Chain A
Amino acid sequence: MALQIETDVLVIGGGLAGCWAAIAAAEAGADVILADKGYCGTSGVTATAGPNHWWVPPDAEKRTQAVRDRNNRALGLADPRWMARIIDTTWRTLPTLADYYQHSITDGGVPHYQSLRGPEYLRALRRYAEVRGVRILDHSPALELLLHADGAVAGARGLRRQEGPPTGRDWTVRAAGVVVATGGCAFLSKLLGSRNNTGDGHLMAAEAGARLSGMEFSTYHTVAERHSTQTRSAPYAFADYFDAEGREIDTGADPDVTLPIARALLAGPVYATLARMPADLRAILPQIQPAILLPFQRQGIDPFTQRFAITLHGEGTVRGTGGLRLTDEDCQTDVPGLYAAGDAATRELIAGAVSGGGAQNSAWALSSGTWAGQAVVRLARVRGRRAREVAEATGGAGLRPAGTPDAADLNGQLAEGVRAEMLPYDKILFRRAPVLTRSLDTLDGLWRVARDHLTPGADATSRVRAREAAALVACARWTTATALLRTESRGLHRREDAAALDPGQAHRLLSGGLDRVWVTPDATAASAQVA
């Protein structure tokens, strides 16, 4: 039998942002459901990482300086007010985790709040949420949003993939508001922890009427051992890189080695060694990040004395900045009652055209989640749950084929089609108009297949994969169309055929649409940036 729940707040996604959203809502006294595709505690890219948070004490001068430094690097697309807000919310909120996370007492004798181990952080957030009364639905991917007749969000539907018949047990949650915290879209690259990050929330929100922003800023890459997912970048600060002939690759003074390494990888295999890491740091590396050395040890590689093959994994919008556009300070999307938090939302507000990296993005996830969770509680108090009103399902591709259902397994075919356009370095890091145009044509073709023929499938796994495939195609189209329209290079977006920054394009680009993808300059953002 299907699971039917009425609640105040529904949070979709149980990573960093989703957990903080659920905790904030529960703290404010609301009934909260948190539904995660996987397991809240291991799901999402933070659980496998070691997030640092943007951490500036409440000293007016220091905070002004911190915001000014980052705003100067944001290439005109960030908003200093949002930066100041996340610094403040992070400073006040992160220490509340102390009952559930054993913060290190550093040499100075003070708790070190800002930098945490991912698995322990997410385990702590789960406990915190449970103690506050959040009801967590694990292995319960959302498939679509529900809308009221007036256009406000009414809830969501999904399935519990480990329960019920082979197709899973369906769930429906009716809520006063919904927080989408489904993470960025990593396009099924092998980025550590990103398998679930297929842009499901982007698709669901777009079907409900939401717009996106900044999808062209999606080119961040991270080094890993060749066959490994271990994209923990810290030890690679000591890396030297070599080509197949043993010649050292000049990566320049910039700590970001993406472009020279990508060029070298396009020409042939690339090798690295961490020989420059001093002995004292080698000795404590397992206590800093216990998973970092596992791939080496399990292959009998000594990364400190040997050269090993490496690769670059694309991060899509994870450490890119694009995502759902926000319309107010509560992180509401274009859809009334639908909020976006963490990597599912655009991070242009805090990072502009460059990556928010670790520290800014973690502070953003915590803060945007907290604000969105609190906002839905206020909404619930004003408007009620509206759970008895008729609501309409909004899901299309991968749920309800518009044409003849195709029994063939299209999920894998569509996912591979997206990977072929979104992962090759020459297409993503060295963008050119003719290649982008061809990619968009290909992706439009994949969308027609997804829309017309993609069917949910006969078991829980293929029901989820069908929606993932549709979401991947949708995100790839918004990304590619936006990259095509931005005829300049700015931050993470690089065009080989327009290498300079064009002062006339210092505006954000909105995108959206399903059958017809559109891209347009964001007029409202441009004026806000001047402030």
Chain B
Amino acid sequence: MIELILADRCTDCDTCVQVCPTNVFDARPGGPPVIARQEDCQTCFLCELYCQSDALYVAPNCDEPVAVDAGAIVASGLLGQFRRDSGWHEWAGQSPNLHWRMGELFARGRKPVAAPTP
């Protein structure tokens, strides 16, 4: 679930308020949005994808809130990774979209069928 809005990175653009499909954020006059309905978060990471200042952090746990250390997460390089790998915004052209190779995963992952024993 969404755990962090980093105030020092947030530009108060309120994009996350608009794009969150489950209406988790509330806009606030003169400041960063607030996480108003964390329990509605569906842990889809899409707010991070749309956040051009990499000010959001979604923890992977969808079952309950977890304590996160903002300093450690900033230092980890995890912020903005989804955007980078997706080639969004300033990363356009720098991370090729290889989605068309998805079928290979299924095809090559299939276990060989054992020959029937006589």
Check A52 against B60 for contact (C-beta < 8 Å): no
Check B45 against A299 for contact (C-beta < 8 Å): no
Bound CA–CA A198/B90 (angstroms): 36
Bound CA–CA A220/B100 (angstroms): 24
Check B60 against A286 for contact (C-beta < 8 Å): no
Residue B53, interface by CB 8 Å: no
A274-315 vs B: 1/0 string, CB under 8 Å?
001110010010111111001101110000000000000000
Asked, given contacts A42-B21, A195-B21, whether A116 binds B99 with beta carbons under 8 Å apart, the answer is yes
Asked, given contacts A237-B106, A281-B108, A295-B60, whether A115 binds B22 with beta carbons under 8 Å apart, the answer is no
Complex interface: chain B residues within 8 A of A112 (CB):
100
Asked, given contacts A162-B23, A286-B85, A290-B85, whether A229 binds B44 with beta carbons under 8 Å apart, the answer is yes
Check A104 against B97 for contact (C-beta < 8 Å): yes
Complex interface: chain A residues within 8 A of B114 (CB):
253
Residue of B nearest to A252 (CB): B111
Contacting B44 at CB < 8 Å: which of A193, A234, A237, A288?
A193
Check A38 against B104 for contact (C-beta < 8 Å): no
Residue A157, interface by CB 8 Å: no
Check A228 against B20 for contact (C-beta < 8 Å): no
Residue of B nearest to A358 (CB): B102
Residue B10, interface by CB 8 Å: no
Query: Main SS of chain A's interface residues?
Result: loop
Contacting A48 at CB < 8 Å: which of B44, B63, B78, B106?
B44
Check B102 against A190 for contact (C-beta < 8 Å): no
Check A277 against B109 for contact (C-beta < 8 Å): yes
Residue B28, interface by CB 8 Å: no
Asked, given contacts A112-B100, A115-B99, whether A294 binds B18 with beta carbons under 8 Å apart, the answer is no
Complex interface: chain B residues within 8 A of A162 (CB):
17, 23
Check A115 against B110 for contact (C-beta < 8 Å): no
Complex interface: chain A residues within 8 A of B104 (CB):
281
Bound CA–CA A196/B111 (angstroms): 35
Q: Which of B22-51 contact A (CB under 8 A)?
A: 22-23, 37, 40-46, 49-50
Check A289 against B102 for contact (C-beta < 8 Å): yes
Bound CA–CA A284/B98 (angstroms): 8
Shortest beta-carbon distance, A120 to chain B, in Å?
Answer: 8
Residue A316, interface by CB 8 Å: no
Residue B67, interface by CB 8 Å: no
Check A289 against B99 for contact (C-beta < 8 Å): yes
Residue of B nearest to A412 (CB): B39
Check B105 against A38 for contact (C-beta < 8 Å): no
Asked, given contacts A50-B102, A298-B59, whether A161 binds B21 with beta carbons under 8 Å apart, the answer is no
Contacting B19 at CB < 8 Å: which of A42, A192, A286?
A42
Check B62 against A228 for contact (C-beta < 8 Å): yes
Can you list 8 A-B contacts with CB-CB less than 8 angstroms, sorted by A residue number?
A37-B21, A115-B100, A228-B61, A236-B109, A276-B109, A286-B85, A288-B105, A290-B95
What is the interface of chain B, defined by CB distance below 8 A to chain A?
Answer: 17-23, 37, 40-46, 49-50, 59-63, 78, 81-82, 85-86, 95-106, 108-111, 113-114
Q: Which 5 A-B pairs have CB atoms at the shortest separation, nearest pair first?
A: A237-B109, A38-B21, A295-B60, A290-B85, A195-B42
